[in-house]
Copies of this chain bind each other. A is one copy, B any other.
């Protein structure tokens, strides 16, 4: 039983490292993967301090970043005075969905450039393709996530 936990922790740290490489804050990533790979349904701040060997301030900061993104949430814990955090149901879909604002930003930037240069110029042609691509992606990505959600719900009847 303990053996399994060690392997889970290793997998968690490994993923955290990868995500950190990709621009995510290191501690934020570690907190996220700790909750993701935890065998407990929820963890308290002090649990996270202990497992990750970091201060409470660091946990507070990481949580503050993670909650607005919809990856984790505070879980109601009647009878306990400590905050309990848990990985959110369908967090991945939420996370991927939030990419849409980035896609929109890219599209807007392209539009801005086109407004300045027109479509019939060197920059204009480049930006035209860019605008088209991101508009398409924004539309289709949202649809894709919905599709997955539906299929998943159909396969896993929650009622």
A residues engaging B (CB < 8 A)? 4, 7-8, 11-12, 14-15, 18, 22-24, 36-41, 87, 90, 92-93, 96, 102, 105-106, 109, 112-113, 115-117, 121-123, 126-127, 129-130, 132-134, 136-137, 140-141, 144, 147-148, 151-152
Complexed CA–CA distance, A96 and B106 (Å)? 12
Closest to A87 in B: B126
Which single member of B12, B129, B144 contacts A152 (CB below 8 Å)?
A: B129
Alpha-carbon distance between A129 and B22 when the two chains are bound, in angstroms: 22
Most buried by B among A8, A12, A102, A148: A8
For the complex formed, measure the closest distance between the CB of A20 and the CB atoms of chain B, giving whole angstroms. 10
| A100, chain B: closest CB distance, angstroms | 13
Contact A112 B11 (CB under 8 A): yes
Q: Please, which residues of chain B bring their CB within 8 A of the CB of A92? A: 129-130, 133-134
Q: Which residue of B lies closest to A112 (CB)?
A: B11
A-B contacts, 9 listed (Cβ < 8 Å): A8-B113, A8-B116, A18-B105, A23-B24, A37-B123, A92-B129, A92-B130, A96-B137, A140-B144
